[in-house]
Amino acid sequence: MEKSDHVDRLYNRMRLWEFPDQYVVEPSDGSAAPFLSISRCDGSMKLIDGVPGFNSLHAPQVMTFFGVVGIRSYLFLITEREFVGYHLGFPIFKIVSLKVFPCNNTIKDAPVEQRKLESEFSQILNEAEFTHGLFFSYDVNITLSIQRLHALGDETKLLPLWQQADPQFLWNHYMLEGLIDNKVNPYILPVVQGSFQCFQSTVHGYIINVELIARRCTRRTGTRMWRRGADCDGFVANFLETEQIIQLNGGQTATFVQVRGSIPLIWEQVVDLTYNPKFKIMKVKESHQATERHFLDLRKKYGRIFAVDLINKHGREGVLHEKYVSAMQHVIGDDVRYLHFDFHKICGDTDFGCLSILYHQIEAFLLKNRYLLLNERGEKLDQQLGVVRTNCIDCLDRTNVTQSLIARKMLESQLRRLGVFNAKETISRHPDLDTRCKILWANHGDDISIQYSGTPALKGDFVRYGQRTFKGILYDTWSSLMRYYLNNFYDGTKQDAIDLLQGYYIVSLSQIMNPPRTKKKAIETIASIRLAAALVAAGFAFAVISLKRARHDASNLVFSMMWLSVCVAVASFVRANGRVFCNRPRL
């Protein structure tokens, strides 16, 4: 696929000059272009011919950076990047370091309460510097799958990348609005949150390049316990489009797209310091409408849909299952199918080979709806007509195991069609390809999980090694504990930062001048969430150690029970007295 000759080429290296009243951005990649001046008072911007004069005794600070992520009351710059591979022949970069610069100097003269509140917002926005999984390209549109990119008209391909981008997968769409309004296209860099993995392998003399790209939807983005289900428009939490791409040294390209997303009902889990808070279904009638809107949007974008539901049929998850089945009765038709597969009941904790049962149930749909296939000249020989939509509760662990199996089967089908494999040949017969495919999907699952839950994916050892291991089970136990801590004591602030960055919460003057006052409970003066979390973590860790030693000395069972009792006691105390900690007033 040839590179588009964009009217405005993106600058890939710049210098930032920090003056007392303005920031000046100088393209330093060899481009003979105007500089961009950004006011430190209100974030307004204009093009200037060069760096203003200055006294050598008061020289401005100067730093190199690699892209402008956005400008609001703050300037967001990429200060460190990492090359992670090629997509369609063009380099892809991961944001390693993001820095936030304030553009609101007038706050210095504001009342004390206003400055205090602004300081709080500044601390929240600093969370942006730790945002995981941000990727970008100066040359190619990575918000669109290759099939959608191939379908773009010639005129559209000549537009700046931000104008070609799908807003649903453009992570910095809100932050770019000021740059777009000022028509400074060479500074407008589209950024995607998700994952980018790639490798190269050789099979029977064929050089095979494999990519895996995940694109996170921004419409209902957030953290695990703070963003669940769907909104009234049908946009769901943790929705991702995952595209697996293979290219042969001969030039042929094949791609396969899957999607995942939270159960499209209006539901939530109220964070209350319990390990697994109860599910609460809101607005049953509106939930059914949200489900219908969600699948209508999927059909418009992807064609036929096969919804695979992996949650438990009974227990806590059973309530959601019943409501989901009920809502799907109004959606199922020729273009939308639904299948429930009780992952935990059928596969248990270790027997994931039983997923072959699931694959046989969806195989006909996959073969019928195929995949995109381009010849060496970039001409379309076949296209994908539908997608599998997979969900569990979090759309992380069970979902990633399932999607990796489906992708593996489709990769084998594509390699047979391209003449690399014979009719019965499988990936497992080629150790290098087999290992790299497993690592590809394991890393992909970890990236997606870290963004939503704060920890790598559970069950990752099966994806990575093809089997469950004792070490993997222990690692999952630790990750589950970390999820508990992060969901209860950290993700609320992280969610506030996400809402600010995505424009879902905008600070008004009245809010700044009249900040809400909340009466602190007495327990806040004597209890510490961090201390409580540390006690729970330590108690759990000692319990695991004692259990491990119990194989050699049964007396360690007593110590294990003692430490588990400490965990339960501390958690129960904080839950009873300190719910205010995790359910603080949200923005």
pLDDT tens by residue, 79-95? 999 999 999 999 999 99
Query: What is the distance between the alpha carbons of residues 297 and 301, in angstroms, rounded to a whole number?
Result: 6
Residue 566 pLDDT more than 90? no
In DSSP terms, 340 is beta-bridged to: 309
Lowest mean pLDDT among 12-16, 140-144, 443-447, 558-562: 558-562
Provide the pLDDT for residue 283: 81
Tens of pLDDT along 16-73? 999 999 999 999 988 888 999 999 998 999 999 999 988 888 889 999 999 999 998 8
Provide the pLDDT for residue 546: 57
End-to-end CA distance of the chain: 45
Share of the chain above pLDDT 90, in %: 63
Provide the pLDDT for residue 562: 59
In a 10 Å sphere around its CB, with 0-12 CB exposed, 13-18 middle and 19+ buried, how is residue 294 labelled? buried
Phi, psi dihedral angles at 219 (to 5 degrees)? -70, -30
Lowest mean pLDDT among 259-263, 467-471, 557-561: 557-561
Paired tokens of 181: 């309004």
Provide the pLDDT for residue 489: 84
Residue 579 pLDDT more than 70? no
User: What number is the average pLDDT over the span 230-247?
Assistant: 97
Query: What is the distance between the alpha carbons of residues 476 and 446, in angstroms, rounded to a whole number?
Result: 12
Buried b (16+ CB within 10 A) or exposed e, 117-126: bbeebeebbe
Query: What is the distance between the alpha carbons of residues 581 and 63, in angstroms, rounded to a whole number?
Result: 40
pLDDT band, very low/low/confident/very high, at 578 (cuts 50, 70, 90) = very low
Query: What is the distance between the alpha carbons of residues 214 and 259, in angstroms, rounded to a whole number?
Result: 9
User: What number is the average pLDDT over the span 345-361?
Assistant: 89
C-alpha distances (whole Å) from 510 to each of 117, 178, 507, 516 are 12, 23, 8, 10
Provide the pLDDT for residue 1: 45
Provide the pLDDT for residue 541: 65
Query: Which uninterrupted H or E stretch holds 180?
Result: helix 177-181
Residue 425 pLDDT more than 60? yes
In DSSP terms, 194 is beta-bridged to: 215
Query: What is the distance between the alpha carbons of residues 95 and 519, in angstroms, rounded to a whole number?
Result: 40
Provide the pLDDT for residue 547: 58
Paired tokens of 195: 């994952």
Taking Cα atoms as reference points, which of 36, 6, 75, 39 lies closest to residue 184?
A: 36
Q: Assess contact for 121 and 72: CB atoms under 8 A.
A: no
Which sign, positive or negative, has the C-alpha torsion 366, 368, 369, 372?
Answer: positive
pLDDT band, very low/low/confident/very high, at 512 (cuts 50, 70, 90) = very low
Residue 264 pLDDT more than 90? yes
Provide the pLDDT for residue 340: 98
What's the chain's average pLDDT? 86
pLDDT band, very low/low/confident/very high, at 487 (cuts 50, 70, 90) = confident
Phi, psi dihedral angles at 178 (to 5 degrees)? -65, -40
Residue 190 pLDDT more than 60? yes
In DSSP terms, 267 is beta-bridged to: 281
Model-level pTM? Answer: 0.86
Q: Assess contact for 216 and 451: CB atoms under 8 A.
A: yes
pLDDT band, very low/low/confident/very high, at 362 (cuts 50, 70, 90) = very high
Tens of pLDDT along 271-326? 877 778 889 988 878 999 999 999 999 999 999 999 999 999 999 899 999 999 99
Residue 424 pLDDT more than 70? yes
Domain ranges of the chain: 1-190, 202-432, 518-581
Provide the pLDDT for residue 586: 43
Provide the pLDDT for residue 73: 85
Q: Assess contact for 330 and 338: CB atoms under 8 A.
A: no
In a 10 Å sphere around its CB, with 0-12 CB exposed, 13-18 middle and 19+ buried, how is residue 467 labelled? exposed
